Amino acid sequence: MRHPSARFRRASLLIAAALAVVASTTSAFADGSQDSSRPQTAAPSSFHGVNWADPRDNYASDAVVPSGLSAGDDYRTVYRKAQKTVEGFRENLGANTVRLPINPASVGTTWWNSYRAAIDAATAAGDKVILSYWEAPTAKDGKIDDPTTWNQMWDTVTAAYRNNPHVYFEPMNEPFGYTTDQWVQVCSDWLARHSDVPRGHVVISGTGYNDNVTGVGASPALTGTLLSLHFYGFWGSYQTEADWIANLLPRIGGYAWRTIIDEAGAPMTVGLNYGAHNGNVFTSYFAAVTDIARGTGMGMVYWPGLRTGDAYSIESLDADGHLHDNSPTGVAQLKWGYGFGTIPPVNDQPAAPPGTQVTQTAGGRCLDVPGYSTTSGTQLDLWDCNGGGNQSWNYTATHLLTVYSNKCMQAGTGTATTGTAVVIQDCTGLPAQQWTVNANGTITSAADTSLCLDTVASGTADGSAVIVATCSGSASQGWKVG
């Protein structure tokens, strides 16, 4: 049985195509009506973002004021500061999304008149903005503090921004005080009250600490909304990327195509090398979450892009209001999660040229490790090319094809005959792990040069199992490396 993440990749590609059609025509309401003047839905994979947080954390009884701003700032001052901050996020990280906190003490107040400038500056620059409600630290029970003032807050916010194509609304951050059914009802009521907000611009938090989207994803009442997931390294003690991936995937279920990871972060001021994936809780965690975000087409919004005094803050703010990276390797790994470039350096080795795709020319699909498995003996297959780490190969000077930096493509268990499965194994340099990329497009095994990389029954479809077979010149034996 194929690992569930295969469904994620397929769904990601299908939803991207569907949303591209929607974006080129109109935006659809939940009731099926359409209005081209309404904001249009963006695919989750287009959210490359950061949280801009209050230095005290966003749990506040009074107004939330993101780092670098002051509650006494007027609109023009906030706009000027926000312009510089948003530009810094974009230039340093490639970010195009900012997640901002709101609460009743911030909205409809004097500070709201100024705070809106942060939203306006970001959207004027073309950035997406996710506005999320945070409860106060008094009860901090994972429930809305006061439903009446919460509704009034959202009435004000949606009236101001429901027609802005760059603004998205997250009814609550981390609703851990509610059961799944209770939370679905809260969100259903929100959607009914704000039916003039396109569902594609509503981001529904996962249950618990936003740590599982399967319950909200399965609810028919929430059809058409985006989902948000939180995932942190302090939730476990794993020291391998594979273990973190195994922890993460059940939290997503079959809903990667609707999901934005709008909080994920790790220590960025303590000197960790995020290029060395395994052997450390946080480097292996961050490798896993960025790899899955990229490979499944989920959006990613880092926590925090900027929060003064927070060791997780990936950026710091100088006296002139400019942003600076706190961890070059952390930034490189985050950009990888956003979908930029090739795989970052691993174990201090330069990334030249990992990230190469091996594509079967007959069908245009990529050589793929099913389900991001790191288990030796896993048979390779074909899958739609998505830039994931499980499709990122390095063809070395010693004729090895490596993936994940430490696994090699191998013909069988070491003795290759026609029909032998092609698998991943720990790299040893055996002849069965050595491959020659030929000028005619074939890839032959050093274990037996009469054997070519091929697929079962010359398949070209998703899931076609990869084997070696007697070289015959068939179309399924044609490959492109790079």
140 and 45 co-located in one domain? yes
363 and 326 co-located in one domain? no
Among residues 357, 159, 170, 197, the alpha carbon closest in space to that of 263 is found at 170
Q: How confident is the model at residue 38 (pLDDT cuts 50, 70, 90)?
A: very low
Is residue 425 domain-resident? yes
The CB-side HSE value for 481 (13 A sphere, CA atoms) comes to 21
286 and 416 co-located in one domain? no
294 and 325 co-located in one domain? yes
Distance between CA atoms of residues 408 and 395, nearest Å: 10
319 and 404 co-located in one domain? no
Distance between CA atoms of residues 378 and 375, nearest Å: 6
265 and 400 co-located in one domain? no
83 and 171 co-located in one domain? yes
276-307 pLDDT, tens digit each: 888 889 999 999 999 999 988 999 999 999 99
Least confident of 13-17, 198-202, 293-297, 422-426: 13-17
The domain total for the chain is: 2
Name the amino acid, one letter, at 66.
Answer: P
Segment 214-223 mean pLDDT: 98
Is residue 82 domain-resident? yes
- Cα angle: 81, vertex 84, 86; to 5 degrees: 105
332 and 474 co-located in one domain? no
Are 86 and 79 a contacting pair, CB within 8 Å? no
Least confident of 63-77, 105-119, 247-261, 335-349: 335-349
312 and 247 co-located in one domain? yes
Q: How confident is the model at residue 16 (pLDDT cuts 50, 70, 90)?
A: very low
Instruction: Note the pLDDT of residue 428.
Output: 85
12 and 112 co-located in one domain? yes
385-432 pLDDT, tens digit each: 876 667 878 887 778 888 866 788 999 987 889 999 999 998 888 899
Is residue 346 domain-resident? no
Instruction: Note the pLDDT of residue 57.
Output: 94
Residue percentage of the chain with pLDDT more than 70? 88
Instruction: Note the pLDDT of residue 482.
Output: 79
Distance between CA atoms of residues 123 and 82, nearest Å: 11
Segment 336-345 mean pLDDT: 74
Distance between CA atoms of residues 214 and 397, nearest Å: 44
Q: How confident is the model at residue 355 (pLDDT cuts 50, 70, 90)?
A: low
Domain boundary, last residue among 338, 371, 398: 338
Is residue 345 domain-resident? no
Is residue 322 domain-resident? yes
The CB-side HSE value for 100 (13 A sphere, CA atoms) comes to 31
Token pair recorded at residue 186: 């809260």
Distance between CA atoms of residues 472 and 474, nearest Å: 5
111 and 258 co-located in one domain? yes
- Domain housing 374: 358-481
CATH number at residue 182: 3.20.20.80
**Is the pLDDT score of 46 beyond 90?**
yes
Instruction: Note the pLDDT of residue 344.
Output: 47
Phi/psi at 35 (5° precision): -155, 110
Find tokens 């706009």 and name the residue.
79
Select the more confidently predicted residue: 402 or 232: 232
Are 265 and 304 a contacting pair, CB within 8 Å? yes
- If one counts every other C-beta atom within 10 angstroms of the C-beta of residue 139, the result is 10
Distance between CA atoms of residues 409 and 447, nearest Å: 13
Phi/psi at 385 (5° precision): -65, 130
Distance between CA atoms of residues 244 and 353, nearest Å: 25
**Is the pLDDT score of 345 beyond 60?**
no
Instruction: Note the pLDDT of residue 396.
Output: 79
Select the more confidently predicted residue: 8 or 183: 183
CA 455 to chain CA centroid, nearest Å: 31
Q: How confident is the model at residue 42 (pLDDT cuts 50, 70, 90)?
A: confident
Instruction: Note the pLDDT of residue 351.
Output: 35
82 and 137 co-located in one domain? yes
**Is the pLDDT score of 469 beyond 50?**
yes
Instruction: Note the pLDDT of residue 182.
Output: 98
Q: List the alpha helices (DSSP H) in 211-345.
A: 214-217, 241-252, 281-296, 328-338
**Is the pLDDT score of 8 beyond 70?**
no
Least confident of 259-268, 375-384, 402-411: 402-411
Distance between CA atoms of residues 170 and 80, nearest Å: 26
**Is the pLDDT score of 151 beyond 90?**
yes
CATH number at residue 420: 2.80.10.50
Segment 353-366 mean pLDDT: 82
Domain boundary, last residue among 338, 368, 396: 338
Would you list the DSSP string of 112-142?
HHHHHHHHHHHHHTT-EEEEEE---TTT-SS
Q: How confident is the model at residue 372 (pLDDT cuts 50, 70, 90)?
A: confident
Query: What are the contacts of 14-23 at 24+ separation with CB within 8 A?
Result: 14/257, 15/43, 15/44, 15/257, 15/258, 15/297, 16/43, 16/45, 16/297, 19/43
**Is the pLDDT score of 32 beyond 80?**
no
Instruction: Note the pLDDT of residue 110.
Output: 97
Q: Mean pLDDT in the chain?
A: 87
Segment 341-356 mean pLDDT: 46
**Is the pLDDT score of 349 beyond 80?**
no
60-75 pLDDT, tens digit each: 999 999 999 999 999 9
Distance between CA atoms of residues 395 and 353, nearest Å: 8
| Burial zone of 423 (CB within 10 Å; 0-12 exposed, 13-18 middle, 19+ buried) | buried
Token pair recorded at residue 319: 């006296």
| Burial zone of 262 (CB within 10 Å; 0-12 exposed, 13-18 middle, 19+ buried) | buried
Is residue 197 domain-resident? yes
Distance between CA atoms of residues 22 and 113, nearest Å: 34
